[in-house]
Amino acid sequence: MDKQILAVCAMDKTKVGGGAPIFYAADQDELSEIAMMISRVFGAAVHDLHNGVLIIVKH
Protein backbone atom coordinates (compact mmCIF):
# COMPACT_ATOMS: atom_id res chain seq x y z
CA MET A 1 0.00 0.00 0.00
CA ASP A 2 1.57 3.30 -1.01
CA LYS A 3 -0.80 5.69 0.73
CA GLN A 4 -1.72 5.51 4.37
CA ILE A 5 -3.59 7.66 6.88
CA LEU A 6 -1.14 8.16 9.73
CA ALA A 7 -3.32 10.30 11.98
CA VAL A 8 -6.60 12.15 12.15
CA CYS A 9 -7.01 15.57 13.77
CA ALA A 10 -10.49 16.76 14.65
CA MET A 11 -12.45 19.16 16.82
CA ASP A 12 -15.74 17.31 16.88
CA LYS A 13 -15.53 13.89 18.54
CA THR A 14 -18.63 12.65 16.74
CA LYS A 15 -17.02 13.07 13.34
CA VAL A 16 -14.14 10.65 13.79
CA GLY A 17 -13.42 7.10 14.88
CA GLY A 18 -11.69 3.94 13.74
CA GLY A 19 -8.15 2.64 13.56
CA ALA A 20 -5.88 5.62 12.97
CA PRO A 21 -4.61 7.66 15.95
CA ILE A 22 -6.99 10.56 16.60
CA PHE A 23 -5.92 13.93 18.03
CA TYR A 24 -8.52 16.35 19.32
CA ALA A 25 -8.11 20.11 19.20
CA ALA A 26 -10.05 22.88 20.92
CA ASP A 27 -10.10 25.30 17.99
CA GLN A 28 -9.08 25.74 14.36
CA ASP A 29 -5.62 27.12 15.18
CA GLU A 30 -4.77 24.23 17.45
CA LEU A 31 -6.07 21.82 14.83
CA SER A 32 -3.72 23.21 12.17
CA GLU A 33 -0.84 23.31 14.62
CA ILE A 34 -1.24 19.67 15.66
CA ALA A 35 -1.60 18.57 12.04
CA MET A 36 1.52 20.49 11.06
CA MET A 37 3.53 18.99 13.92
CA ILE A 38 2.54 15.45 13.09
CA SER A 39 3.04 15.89 9.35
CA ARG A 40 6.56 17.22 9.87
CA VAL A 41 7.43 14.25 12.08
CA PHE A 42 6.36 11.78 9.42
CA GLY A 43 7.20 13.80 6.32
CA ALA A 44 3.58 13.43 5.30
CA ALA A 45 0.95 15.70 3.78
CA VAL A 46 -2.05 17.25 5.53
CA HIS A 47 -5.40 17.07 3.79
CA ASP A 48 -8.54 18.91 4.83
CA LEU A 49 -11.87 17.07 4.68
CA HIS A 50 -13.76 20.38 4.94
CA ASN A 51 -15.70 19.27 7.99
CA GLY A 52 -13.24 20.30 10.66
CA VAL A 53 -11.25 17.10 10.21
CA LEU A 54 -7.65 17.00 8.97
CA ILE A 55 -5.99 13.76 7.95
CA ILE A 56 -2.26 13.20 7.73
CA VAL A 57 -1.44 11.00 4.78
CA LYS A 58 1.87 9.45 3.82
CA HIS A 59 2.14 9.42 0.03
Partner 1 sequence: MKYLFTLIIAILGGFLARLYMLRRDYRQYPSYPQGWAIHLFLGFIGGSIGAIIVPALLEGEYSAVSFLLLAASQFREVRNVERQTLSAMESTEMVKRGTAYIEGIARVFEARNYLAIWVALSVAVTSELLVGLGWWRTAVCGVVGVLLTVVLVRLMQGDKISDIATVELTDFRFEGALVVVGETVMMNVGLPDARKVYEERGLAAIIRPNGPNAKATLANLGQMQAIAHDVSSMIGVYMDVGEQEFIPMVRRNPSVGSLHVLMVASEKDEAAFLEAIRRVPVLEGAIRKPLTSAAGKLVD
* Min separation Cβ 56 and partner 1, Å: 8
Contact yes or no for 47/35 (Cβ under 8 A): no
User: Nearest CA to 21 among 36, 10, 11, 33?
Assistant: 10
Of residues 16 and 55, the one with the C-beta less far from partner 1: 55
Of residues 18 and 43, the one with the C-beta less far from partner 1: 43
Site of interaction with partner 1 (CB under 8 A): 32, 35-36, 39-40, 42-48, 50, 54-55, 59
* Min separation Cβ 6 and partner 1, Å: 12
Contact yes or no for 21/7 (Cβ under 8 A): yes
